[in-house]
């Protein structure tokens, strides 16, 4: 297949493109090559590349940044998705849209399944959810894949795992919230999962996170344990102590219930995936 990827230089994209390139012809694009807000540019890229499958990863992903930029957030995350869905409709291409477990409001006491009803609270999550609705409305042949708290990217990891390691390595005491819960998701596992999913032809909406759920504090504890940094540097703290622009759901954990019901249980536990990422990749790349 000819696979067109948006947001290819991002954390997920940089791990997903090599995985897809093992089996398919990949055309990797990012903001520079194809701004998803611009239907004319999309049309020209589709004409040139004639994709069979579009993996739509591009988005504004800074949740707090999005909170003060509602128009730009909806233009990129919702309308940008609509632009791509229309182009896929026109080109008879299948689309994979990466969404988020934060489309739920977080009031549930356990991880969300695909059968729970979304109720997004932040501008980022609202726009991502509108993107889901537009994909469903415009395309029959689509997969919507909701991810949990993603980690990956290796050397360039500036997100939660990278930040915790850098700060802890400097011997800094870190306060980490223990009242927000989620499902860590390794980008490489997710890329391999999506690769298998698109081979099934079983279109629909799926949760795809590594198995299990933890608090941010438990996640940080596991990270420092794997790196071999003393965990007394970590202090659990309530999220009430941090005032952030965007509301964060208490529960962002998701369960891969559909994959399980359909016999497609591919994702290993988050602890196993995190160990693989930190020991076999991050630490090796840094040494
Ligand atoms: N990270 C997570 O924990 C998480 C969890 C659940 C779901 N997701 C979803 O997974 C997808 C990938 O996330 P990620 O963490 O890999 O994000 P990321 O690292 O921020 O990558 C997103 C990429 O999209 C590009 N982009 C932004 N605006 C664009 C536009 N108008 N046109 C084309 N490209 C544009 C960005 O370019 P610039 O850097 O130049 O802006 C960036 O390279 C996103 O759709 C996100 O909503 C992420």
**12 in ligand 1 pocket by Cβ < 6 Å?**
yes
Domain residue limits, the chain: 2-157+184-212+253-268
Q: What is the pLDDT of residue 155?
A: 79
Q: Is residue 287's pLDDT more than 80?
A: no
Looking at the DSSP bridge assignments, the partners of residue 55 are 5, 96
**7 in ligand 1 pocket by Cβ < 6 Å?**
yes
**Test site for ligand 1: of 4, 28, 30, 246, most ligand atoms within 8 A of the Cβ:** 30
Band (pLDDT 50/70/90 cuts) for residue 135 is very high
Residues with Cβ within 8 Å of 249's Cβ and at least 6 positions away in sequence, in order, are 102, 104, 105, 106, 107, 121, 180
**76 in ligand 1 pocket by Cβ < 6 Å?**
yes
Instruction: Give, for 284, the enclosing helix (H) or strand (E).
Output: helix 283-286
For 220, the token pair is 């940080």
Q: What is the DSSP string of 142-180?
A: EEEEEE-EEE--GGG--SHHHHHHHHHHTT--EEEESS-
Of 155-164, 235-244, 245-254, 276-285, least confident by mean pLDDT is 155-164
From the list 264, 244, 234, 191, the residue with the least C-alpha distance to 28 is 191
How many angstroms separate the CA atoms of 145 and 208, rounded? Answer: 6
Q: What is the pLDDT of residue 75?
A: 98
225-264 pLDDT tens trace: 999 988 788 999 999 998 899 999 999 999 999 999 999 9
Instruction: Give the distance (Å) from ligand 1 centre to CA of residue 274.
Output: 21
Q: Which fold has domain 2-157+184-212+253-268?
A: Rossmann fold (3.40.50)
Catalytic residue among 112, 124, 219, 277: 124
How many angstroms separate the CA atoms of 85 and 146, rounded? Answer: 17
For 184, the token pair is 């860590």
* Contact status, residue 253 vs residue 110, Cβ threshold 8 Å: yes
103-123 pLDDT tens trace: 999 999 999 999 999 999 999
How many angstroms separate the CA atoms of 156 and 187, rounded? Answer: 13
HSE-CB at 264 with a 13 A cutoff on CA atoms is: 22
């Amino acid at each position: 297949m000819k696979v067109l990827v948006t947001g290819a230089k991002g954390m997920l994209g940089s791990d997903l493109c090599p995985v897809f390139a093992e089996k398919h012809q990949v055309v990797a694009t990012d903001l520079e090559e194809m701004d998803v807000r611009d239907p004319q540019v999309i049309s020209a890229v589709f004409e040139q590349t004639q994709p069979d499958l579009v993996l739509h990863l591009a988005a504004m992903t800074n949740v707090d940044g999005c909170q003060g930029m509602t128009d730009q957030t909806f233009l990129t995350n919702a309308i940008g998705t609509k632009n791509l869905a229309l182009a896929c409709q026109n080109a008879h291409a299948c689309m994979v849209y990466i969404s988020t477990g934060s489309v739920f409001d977080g009031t549930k006491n356990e991880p969300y399944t695909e059968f729970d009803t979304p109720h997004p609270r932040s501008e980022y999550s609202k726009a991502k959810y509108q993107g889901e609705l537009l994909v469903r409305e415009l395309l029959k042949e689509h997969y919507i894949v909701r991810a949990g708290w993603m980690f990956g990217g290796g050397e360039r990891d500036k997100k939660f795992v990278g930040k915790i390691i850098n700060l802890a390595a400097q011997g800094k005491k870190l306060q980490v919230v223990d009242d927000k819960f989620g499902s860590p998701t390794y980008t490489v596992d997710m890329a391999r999962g999506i690769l298998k999913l698109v081979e099934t032809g079983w279109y629909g909406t799926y949760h795809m996170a590594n198995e299990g759920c933890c608090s941010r504090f438990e996640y940080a504890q596991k990270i420092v344990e794997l790196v071999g940094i003393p965990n007394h540097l970590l202090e659990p703290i309530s999220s009430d102590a941090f005032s952030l622009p965007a509301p964060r759901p208490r529960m962002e954990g998701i369960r891969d219930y559909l994959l399980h019901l359909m016999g497609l249980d591919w994702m290993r536990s988050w602890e196993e995936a995190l160990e693989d990422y930190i020991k076999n990749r991050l630490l090796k790349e840094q040494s």
